[in-house]
Amino acid sequence: MGWAGWFAGPAGAGSAGGPSRGFLLVAMLASAGVTLFMAFDGRVAALIPAAAACWFAARLFGLVGPKGD
């Protein structure tokens, strides 16, 4: 059985294989949009959603996360 995460229990979040590719795509695009909005506003905090977009892209393209059996 895979690890579900802190306080999730054996049938909690992540036990079914993690987020879908569709979710990761939407999350990546939303994070990128927030990054652009904040960057055009001149906010240094735009680095936070930029990092999230990079993480979601890495998960989407299989660079990090669980590997198939």
| pLDDT tens track for 40-59 | 999 999 999 999 999 999 99
Residue 4: its pLDDT value, please? 52
Which residue range is the domain that position 46 belongs to?
A: 21-60
* 4 inside domain: no
Q: How many structural domains is the chain composed of?
A: 1
What's the confidence (pLDDT) of residue 19? 84
Contact 38, 49 (CB under 8 A): yes
pLDDT range class, residue 11, cuts 50, 70, 90: low
Look at residue 14 and tell me whether its pLDDT is greater than 80: no
